[in-house]
Amino acid sequence: MKYLRWLLLPFSLIYGLVVIMRNWFYDAGLFKSYRFTKPIISVGNLEVGGAGKSPMTEYLIRLLKSDYKLATLSRGYGRKTKGYLVLSLESEVLSQESGVKNQESPVTIDSGLNTQVLRLSSKIGDEPAQFKQKFPDITVAVCEDRVYGLNKLLPNHDLILMDDAYQHRAVQPGFSILLFDYTRINQPHFLLPAGNMREPMSGRWRAQVIIISKCPPTLTNDELNALAYKIEPLPYQSLFFTSIAYQQLSDLQGNPVAVPIDGDTTVFLLTGIANPKPLLQHLQGSTSHIIHHNYPDHHLFTLKNISKLAAEFAAHPSQKKIIVTTEKDAQRLDESWLNAGLSNGDTLPVFMMPIRVEFLNGNGPQFDKIILDYVREHSENHIIH
């Protein structure tokens, strides 16, 4: 695969030229870019794959939801629907474009937010489904056309959080947060298809805040300075470092459960995310008995996948065994599958590993102030120009 990527370098040069020209057209005003005077915060990255965008969006939701009526707007990657959809406060999937309920699959949310919410990932994508499960009182919307989606949402909301929208140049957000994954920071920054970069490093100039995510919490000041030197933030950009703070295991409804993991525990790890390595390393700190069922990012789990997992789980001789998955992956599981392959009628013991963002060196309040100052400054304006 490594040598194949070298062969793809000429195509990366062509791709890079197209991206650079596209960005120049937007910067020069030849392509229309819409700016809104209500607060719009974009969270994104330059690479393909996860850099912690969803946990950062959740951090912003927790910071802002008590004082502002907010909505999240995503593309809804991997969903089987198209157009503008919102999981409204009335707890039904609506199509605002047509003005009628989505006849394909109307969804009623119960107080447990269980299987029906988990099935929403096929309708709106796994990250939006996760947002709604964790924050049922906020508005969660998806739309490929972010301008259309913003125009639908802004009249009834104080601010919008746009997830994974850094390359969506048709919108000029008021504030952009750009994430870099610590585990990939030293890899060659080749553009697609030879590498993982969606655009060159020079594209970082559009961000007001740069965050290096998934850092080990024990990084020294010298190591932090070396990372800052590699990223080279511009004078007007604030640079922060965050780590993953793993939370207590929870059931598929998000309720914390007391399930200890120790050296005698066998963990069947089920993932379909871009970079499961940090979670794997975290679990290895508690047990060496880990059987990893690893699938590509945004993989739509099937009954066959879960039946294979169930068969291996049932056949394993360990008396102390559990199945662990991520919050995002849990959105693509159907609870009706969890007794697949179990002859005694039991349900597979599947638990989620929630995560949160934790700022290194106690810099969370500084980051919060930057965000809150921006929102306060723009929250009273609402005219689109």
Indicate the domain borders of the chain.
37-245+360-378, 266-353
pTM exceeds 0.85, yes or no = yes
Quote the pLDDT of residue 124.
76
- The reply to whether domains 37-245+360-378 and 266-353 share a CATH topology is yes
Tokens of 300: 């739509």
Contact 325, 348 (CB under 8 A): no
The low-confidence residues of the chain, meaning pLDDT below 70, are: 1-3, 88-122, 339-345, 380-385
Query: Within 10 A of 108 (CB to CB), how many other CB atoms are there?
Result: 9
Rounded to whole angstroms, the Cα distance separating 204 from 67 reads: 30
Quote the pLDDT of residue 95.
45
pLDDT tens, residue by residue, 177-202: 999 999 899 888 899 999 899 999 99
Quote the pLDDT of residue 346.
72
Rounded to whole angstroms, the Cα distance separating 173 from 254 reads: 32
Q: Exposed, middle or buried by CB within 10 Å (0-12, 13-18, 19+), for 132?
A: buried
pLDDT tens, residue by residue, 137-172: 999 999 999 999 999 999 999 999 999 999 999 999
Quote the pLDDT of residue 3.
66
Topology at the third CATH level for domain 37-245+360-378: Rossmann fold (3.40.50)
Quote the pLDDT of residue 300.
86
Top-level class of domain 266-353: alpha beta
